[in-house]
Structure 1
Amino acid sequence: MTAIQEHSLILVVDDTYTNLEIISEVLKRSGFAVATAHDGISALEKIEFIYPDLILLDVMMPGIDGFETCKRLKANTRTSDIPIMFMTGVSDTDSKVHALELGAVDYIIKPFQEEEVLARLKTHLQLRHLTKNLETQVAERTAALTQALRELQESQIQLVQREKMSALGNLVAGVAHEINNPMGFIVGNLQPAKEHIQELFRVLDLYQKYYPQPVPELQQEISNIDLDYIRADLPNLITSMREGVSRICDITNSLRTFARADSDRKLECNIHDCIDSTLVILKHRLKGNSYRYDIQIVRDYGQLPLLQCYPGQLNQVFMNLFANAIDAIEELVETNHHHSLTTHISPTIWIRTSFNPDHTGIAIQIKDNGMGMSEEVHQKAFDYLFTTKPVGKGTGLGLSIARQIIVENHGGLLKASSQIGVGTEFVIEIPFG
């Protein structure tokens, strides 16, 4: 007895009791398990409770014949792959062709030889066994290839992320360093310059006190340069330069924060610093143009503890989300302008942070009133290489990388909700600790 015979169940369907007994006895002696049914209806009912490995099916039966029974079995997804061998005393070619067209694997003519029936039956069971093994191997191989593809995509995302952040970090850190050198010189000389100007003014005051009537040429020059205006405006110029220098210092500090290098371990980070430094870098994109007003940033910051994280990676997530929000706002404004719509929106990005002690995590919500996403785009938004932007404008990696950073690297969640013409909201949840 082979292993296939030991585990094979044969369903015999015949309306003649003698035939059922004879065939069942032959099959049992050969090591098969046997179930029987006396007509097509009872066979269909029985098959709801058992799952035979092969069916021996008589053609001529009362009620529904073997052809109709076969048709129904093949129409049922649960039983469609079970091999069916017809048994009949009719040997015309049309009947054989019809049986094979219905999906039968073989056709046995009564009266049949025991050895022939067993040989054919074993052959079809062996073929089914091989087919099922092949299907299993194909499924396993497909699953393995799918997993390998997913791992390859994730490794590609990580590689792109590391290379991008490394290059950007080095560039930004280098720029910040180069700016800081001359800025240090300017900052260090503004106060002495102010003091020197004040000293010069005191000298001028003394000259005007003791020589109130200068020679005509000097009087003309004083009039030409409008000395009184210079005396009033020069301190304001110094103050403006001081404010400009302070602004540049803020920018370089933000650049250093944004380009902060990550080590193999997480660092303590103030999430609000990450958000603000990213917005400083994107400030030029927030300014208005001929089509729209400035994009307003509305902050609703909660009290957040310092978070153990990879700050450089989170900066990249914020950069992607804010850049997408700006793109969506500009797309909506341009669409309205193209269709000559007179409705005006106040372009806005809302940022809300909160800490949930019960769930020991922080939440960051970034919402815009831009173009929004269709349901189809929404479903694919985080897919690898998916982008709605034209060639050269987007890689399709931004949100894929963002999700990997939040989910894989920080054990958090990144969710999105959107509505066309209303806007999009991203929610980041990062566990604390």
Structure 2
Amino acid sequence: MNKEIIIIGGGIIGLCSAYYLQKEGHQVTILDQSSMDVGASYINAGYLSPSHIIPLAAPGVMKKGLKWMFNSTSPLFIKPRLNPEFLEWTWAFNKSCSAKNVHRGITAIKDIAISGRDLYAEIKTEEKFSFQLEKKGLLMICQTDKMLEEEIKVANIAANEGLAVKELSLHELKKLEPNANIQAKGAVHYSCDWHTTPQTFMEEMKKHLVDSGVVILKNEKVEDIVVTNNKITSVQTKNKTYTADEFVLAAGSWSNLLSKKLGIKLLLEAGKGYRINSERDFGITIPAILAEAKVAITPMQGFTRFAGTMEIAGINHTINKARVEAIANATQKYYPKVQLSTTEKNTVECGLRPVSPDGIPYIGRSKKCKNLTIATGHAMMGWSMGPSTGKLVSEIISNKKLSLDLNPFHPDRTF
């Protein structure tokens, strides 16, 4: 039976949910509080990364976070706040930084990321989209023996999970990237990873959805939700009341603010990331992560993107210049030829990624609301998992057989 569906949130998760729902014949409306041309879905590194199988909450991460707490240029910066929800998230994150959480998350993350990667290719072929989709892999570039050893351990886990990965000597690395002048000890190359230019995909998808009958309403912030007998009957914006049969909560870092109105506790923190673009040619042809600095570099359509940092500091879009400089300085340390100009650094943008305490997204229905499907909390993997999450949302609402096991992603799980 075809349904009327409202999706709250027009980022990568919301758009992909709309894409698969409209293919099932449902009437879909997207409500988004922004102009839908900024944010994490537009400024990310563009990676489709099955290689990122280790969840953010892993052994030693909290210890590093505490060490880096007073260093605003560190890769992970957690700003202390006397806020009950932040403190609860921090406690849950600390509990999740365990080998058990890593073991639980590896297969789930790998499967949904592989599915997402492959669905990008399927969408491109089926809809004749022109967005960049390249299969050059991802380099984890290391400057110290210690980091190289750590990355090789992760690579061995990935290989055991069936992912294509290879350790590279410095000679082999320079053979792959002969014009980039990389300073490193060595690298790990995940040939299983692909990359894209996010802005292009988002623009093509929005046009396709409108052409397919999806209603997209920008600058339409949901302010209240009306619930009767554990079912949403309507959502209220400043301008209008909207009714539907089913609702999807895909509002990224704002999702928990709305879920509270339903009595659903989603532990979420906004993880701010930054990006700098340069149109100069630096000879970089393969995406790379600078392992010690946690900076991502991606050759996109007509420019190179330098992105990074995870700043847990609440919902805000304040640009921290020290973190921008940290990205630029780290890049030059690994690629001496790359000296980002003041003009380039001044064009920096940031986006907020919704981070769950265990680093695993929330996907599915809560027992507290019969006609709501939740899809948020993807942290740094939202771009990789966008299409696969959208497909799962459609399968849930359409009562179809699920393409993946949703138990690891249950929104009612405890920490």
**TM-score (structure 2 length as normaliser):** 0.23
Q: Which has the higher contact order (CA 8 A, sep 6+)?
A: 2
| Larger relative strand fraction | 2
| Larger relative helix fraction | 1
Structure with larger Rg = 1
